[in-house]
Amino acid sequence: MLKSFAVRALAPAAYALLALGLMAGPSAAAGRETAAKTLFGAKKLPAALQSDSIGSYAKGCLAGAVALPLTGPTWQVVHPARNRNWGNPRLIAFLEKFSREAAAKDGWRGLLVGDISQPRGGPMVDGHASHQIGLDADIWLTPMPNRVLSTRERNNIEFDSMVQAKNHLELDRSHWSNAQARLIMRAASEPEVQRIFVHPPIKRELCRIWKGDRSILGKVRPYWHHDAHMHVRLRCPPGDDKCKPQAKIPPGDGCGKQLAWWFTDEPWRPAKPSAKPATPHYTTLADLPVACRAVLQAPAVSSRGAAIYRGSADATPSLASAEESVASVPVPRPRPDMR
CA distance 13 to 214: 38
With CB under 5 A as the contact rule, which of the stretches 134-142, 241-249, 256-264, 286-294 interacts with Zn ion? 134-142
Smaller CB separation from Zn ion, 204 or 231: 231
With CB under 5 A as the contact rule, which of the stretches 21-29, 80-88, 135-143, 245-253 interacts with Zn ion? 135-143
We find the least distance from the C-beta atom of residue 174 to Zn ion, in angstroms, to be 24
3-state secondary structure of 139: strand
- Per DSSP bridges, beta strands 193-198 and 220-222 are parallel
We find the least distance from the C-beta atom of residue 64 to Zn ion, in angstroms, to be 22
Closest CA to 329 of 213, 229, 251, 225: 225
With CB under 5 A as the contact rule, which of the stretches 60-68, 200-208, 223-231, 294-302 interacts with Zn ion? 223-231
In the chain, where does DSSP find H-type helix? 5-19, 36-41, 89-106, 151-156, 178-188, 200-209, 214-217, 257-260, 291-297, 303-308
231 forms part of the interface with Zn ion (CB under 5 A): yes
Smaller CB separation from Zn ion, 205 or 324: 324
CA distance 127 to 120: 16
The answer to whether 263 and 203 have CB atoms below 8 angstroms apart is no
Interface with Zn ion (CB under 5 A), residue from 127, 132, 138, 253: 138
Which helix (H) or strand (E) covers residue 137, if one does?
strand 136-140
With CB under 5 A as the contact rule, which of the stretches 22-30, 229-237, 242-250, 251-259 interacts with Zn ion? 229-237
We find the least distance from the C-beta atom of residue 225 to Zn ion, in angstroms, to be 8
Residues contacting Zn ion: total by CB under 5 A: 2
**Chain residues in the site for Zn ion (CB under 5 A):** 138, 231
